């Protein structure tokens, strides 16, 4: 492939709309072009990468025993009413009307369509198991599309669905897909972790997310060298230094004038923040609740919403706090609260022997209070954010924090869709059961961005060899020089002939411009053909390490084939 004949519209400046490196670099390296907000064209170079990822996915899905099919993008709206998802999708579902006024949705996923196929085509346990997959464009009307193809309104996904007669069979397929996903990401040359998602939350259903590690990833993770990893929103805080404070009988009142924040109380009393109990008052539904957490911890709102089953849960206003507790903001505590205020404590509070907390009176705290004696805790719940250094539930070592990009998500759906859509099969006794289902998503276009987020430097993209748009870039410096071009053409023939994908920058531009573009586009191996060609020597440059070797032009192709793992 010749650069002069290709559409690789590189940009010198960073586009203003791009907030993260992959978005910026995909625009700058001419991989994508925006049509409108959240809608992109994959230009030829970007499409080469996309196709490579697709091929790896197809090979691994086929090897896992999945069958490829192609379902429609246009979905009659009724099927979402049938499954009950019309409401849960809400405005994210793209809708359109045909000329007869019938409403259609542009497919965001295909659980409904595939469940209809199973309902009509699979009648008996003898037809099971079956696993299908497809690679196609999905639509979601993101309120705020951003990050380029990372959070777009139109994107390419691989989605797969499996149907089983029993849970064990589903589990076997689930493990096979998990293995296939590992291989896909490894073959793409990327570092990743697998995190448990919502484990055991919906009646024993299992779900895992595959996260490509990247500094600018959207998801915050905690991970351990033992292999355990968890999304920060779901991680429970576990600590080793449990027992804090000293129980006093009776507890002691202490004057803390003006000390209304945890920081001020800790300073005033000369004790660490984690020894003080923070009492937060909320309105959950119609009730007032007091939430107790260690002073050095923050409440995770996602957990709060889940624990109290109220998406509108809110803090009490200062006036409400005075009415409920009798004391001003900043001096709330669990002792002496009205009986209708439920006290819910974070699990970390379980270890507190004697607590320091507000007295529900201005400028006063209590020291040495004991749960069960001085007040009652209604229940313990996981409420706070875990953080770096908290203990791994697997091996007990400290967790490290990192960030990731979700590229895959697998679910054991159970009978969620088959029940609501009445998709059943007959067992060996002629009895009818809903199908047991799994679904398995993989973000194909998102994977291109994720690969870049993990592999770039200040000059541009650094593609892993397996998904690079080209493996070799030939860079003749002076295209007017006959010896230079002769060597370039010969190398092109040798390398392309051996099956490598070669891009030759045959543009009549200054070496500076060509080197900049080469770094930006990030082809892993580069051969520069310059002045040394007089002595039969070219330069071999490794984009990842920056290493430069002088190589005899006669040996260059062989050397490259060796590095690329292809026998000459
Ligand atoms: Zn561990």
Residue 86 confidence class, pLDDT cut points 50, 70, 90: confident
Quick one: pLDDT at residue 524?
97
Q: Tell me the per-residue pLDDT of 194-224, one tens digit each, with 9 for 90 and over.
A: 998 764 333 347 889 999 999 999 899 999 9
CA of 21 to the centre of ligand 1 (A): 31
CA of 401 to the centre of ligand 1 (A): 13
Query: DSSP H helical segments within 455-500, as ranges?
Result: 482-497
Residue 510 neighbours by CB under 8 Å, 6+ apart = none
* pTM of the complete model: 0.86
DSSP labels for 76-111?
Answer: ETHHHHHHTHHHHHGGGSEEEE-TTS-EEEE-S--H
CA of 196 to the centre of ligand 1 (A): 14
Residue 36 confidence class, pLDDT cut points 50, 70, 90: very high
The answer, yes or no, to whether residue 568 has pLDDT greater than 80, is: no
Q: Rounded to an integer, what distance in angstroms lies between the CA atom of residue 427 and that of residue 123?
A: 9
Tokens for 558?
A: 């062989």
Query: Dihedrals φ, ψ of 169, to 5°?
Result: -65, -45
Quick one: pLDDT at residue 204?
46
Q: Which residue has the higher pLDDT, 54 or 302?
A: 54
The answer, yes or no, to whether residue 523 has pLDDT greater than 90, is: yes
Class of domain 252-381: alpha beta
CA of 509 to the centre of ligand 1 (A): 54
CA of 202 to the centre of ligand 1 (A): 25
CA of 53 to the centre of ligand 1 (A): 31
Q: Rounded to an integer, what distance in angstroms lies between the CA atom of residue 413 and that of residue 420?
A: 12
399 touches 389 (CB < 8 A): yes
CA of 279 to the centre of ligand 1 (A): 32
439 touches 208 (CB < 8 A): no
Q: Tell me the per-residue pLDDT of 383-397, one tens digit each, with 9 for 90 and over.
A: 999 999 999 988 999
Comparing CA positions, the residue from 143, 72, 83, 146 lying closest to residue 112 is: 83
CA of 398 to the centre of ligand 1 (A): 8
Residue 425 neighbours by CB under 8 Å, 6+ apart = 122, 123, 124, 125, 127, 128, 165, 432, 433, 435
CA of 399 to the centre of ligand 1 (A): 7
Q: Tell me the per-residue pLDDT of 59-76, one tens digit each, with 9 for 90 and over.
A: 999 999 999 999 999 999
CA of 337 to the centre of ligand 1 (A): 40
Q: Tell me the per-residue pLDDT of 454-486, one tens digit each, with 9 for 90 and over.
A: 999 999 999 999 999 999 999 999 999 999 999
CA of 199 to the centre of ligand 1 (A): 17
Tokens for 204?
A: 């024993």
Tokens for 167?
A: 């849970």
CA of 350 to the centre of ligand 1 (A): 23
Q: Rounded to an integer, what distance in angstroms lies between the CA atom of residue 263 and that of residue 281?
A: 19
Comparing CA positions, the residue from 144, 202, 208 lying closest to residue 181 is: 208
Quick one: pLDDT at residue 567?
52
Quick one: pLDDT at residue 311?
87
CA of 232 to the centre of ligand 1 (A): 15
The answer, yes or no, to whether residue 170 has pLDDT greater than 50, is: yes
Indicate the domain borders of the chain.
3-235+401-452, 252-381, 470-563
Q: Which residue has the higher pLDDT, 141 or 244?
A: 141
Quick one: pLDDT at residue 242?
65
CA of 190 to the centre of ligand 1 (A): 21
Quick one: pLDDT at residue 199?
44
Residue with token string 């998500």: 409
Length of the chain: 568
The architecture (CATH level 2) of 470-563 comes to 3-Layer(aba) Sandwich (3.40)
CA of 208 to the centre of ligand 1 (A): 17
Q: What mean pLDDT, rounded, does the chain reach?
A: 93
CA of 132 to the centre of ligand 1 (A): 35
Domain 3-235+401-452, CATH number (from 2.60.120.260, 3.30.160.100, 3.40.50.2300, 3.30.930.10): 3.30.930.10
Cα torsion for 343, 344, 345, 346, to the nearest 10°? -160
Q: Tell me the per-residue pLDDT of 37-63, one tens digit each, with 9 for 90 and over.
A: 999 999 999 999 999 999 999 999 999
CA of 253 to the centre of ligand 1 (A): 42
Rg (CA), the chain: 30
Distances (CA, A) of 539 to 167, 175, 238, 472, 528: 58, 46, 54, 13, 5
CA of 294 to the centre of ligand 1 (A): 24
């Amino acid at each position: 492939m010749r650069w002069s004949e290709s559409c690789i519209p590189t940009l010198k400046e960073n586009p203003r709309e791009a907030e993260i490196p992959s978005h910026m670099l995909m625009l700058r390296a001419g991989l994508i072009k925006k049509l409108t907000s959240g809608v992109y064209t994959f230009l030829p170079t970007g499409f080469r990468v996309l196709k490579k990822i697709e091929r790896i996915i197809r090979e691994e899905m086929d090897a896992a025993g999945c069958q490829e099919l192609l379902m429609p993008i246009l979905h009659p709206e009724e099927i979402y009413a049938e499954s009950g998802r019309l409401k849960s999708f809400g405005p994210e579902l793209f809708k359109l009307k045909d000329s007869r006024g019938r409403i259609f949705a542009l497919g965001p996923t295909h659980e409904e369509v595939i469940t209809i196929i199973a309902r009509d085509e699979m009648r008996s346990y003898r037809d099971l198991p079956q696993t299908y997959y497809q690679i196609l464009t999905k639509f979601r009307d993101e309120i705020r599309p951003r990050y380029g193809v990372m959070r777009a309104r139109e994107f390419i996904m691989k989605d797969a669905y499996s149907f089983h007669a029993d849970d064990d069979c589903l589990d076997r397929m689930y493990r096979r897909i998990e293995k296939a996903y590992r291989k896909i990401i490894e073959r793409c040359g990327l570092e990743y972790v697998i995190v448990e998602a919502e484990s055991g939350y919906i009646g024993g259903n299992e779900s895992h997310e595959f996260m490509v590690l990247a500094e600018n990833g959207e998801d915050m993770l905690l991970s351990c060298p033992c292999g355990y990893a968890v999304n920060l929103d779901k991680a429970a805080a576990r600590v080793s230094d449990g027992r804090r404070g000293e129980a006093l009988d009776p507890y002691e009142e202490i004057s803390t004038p003006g000390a209304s924040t945890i920081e001020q109380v800790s300073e005033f009393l000369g004790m660490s923040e984690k020894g003080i109990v923070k009492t937060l008052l909320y309105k959950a539904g119609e009730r007032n609740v007091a939430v107790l957490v260690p002073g050095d911890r923050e409440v995770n709102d996602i957990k709060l919403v889940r624990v109290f089953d109220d998406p509108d849960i809110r803090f009490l206003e200062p006036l409400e706090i005075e009415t409920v507790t009798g004391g001003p903001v900043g001096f709330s505590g669990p002792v002496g609260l009205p009986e209708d205020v439920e006290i819910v404590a974070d699990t970390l509070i379980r270890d507190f022997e004697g607590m320091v907390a507000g007295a529900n009176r201005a400028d006063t705290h209590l020291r040495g209070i004991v749960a069960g004696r001085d007040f009652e805790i209604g229940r313990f719940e996981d409420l706070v954010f875990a953080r770096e250094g908290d203990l791994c539930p697997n091996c007990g070592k400290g967790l490290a924090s990192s960030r990731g990009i979700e590229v895959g998500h697998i679910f054991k759906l159970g009978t969620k869709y088959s029940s609501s859509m009445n998709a059943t099969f007959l067992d060996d006794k002629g009895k009818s059961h809903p199908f047991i289902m799994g679904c398995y998503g993989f973000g194909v276009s998102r994977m291109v961005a994720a690969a870049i987020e993990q592999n770039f430097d200040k000059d541009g993209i650094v593609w892993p060899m397996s998904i690079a748009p080209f493996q070799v870039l030939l860079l003749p410096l002076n295209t007017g020089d006959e010896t230079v071009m002769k060597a370039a053409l010969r190398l092109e023939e040798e390398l392309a002939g051996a099956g490598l994908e070669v891009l030759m920058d045959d543009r009549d531009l200054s070496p500076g411009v060509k080197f900049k573009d080469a770094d930006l586009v990030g082809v892993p191996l580069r051969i520069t053909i310059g002045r040394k060609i007089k002595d039969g020597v070219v330069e071999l440059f490794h984009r990842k390490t920056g290493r430069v070797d002088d190589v005899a032009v006669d040996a260059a192709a062989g050397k490259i084939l060796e590095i690329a793992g292809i026998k000459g």
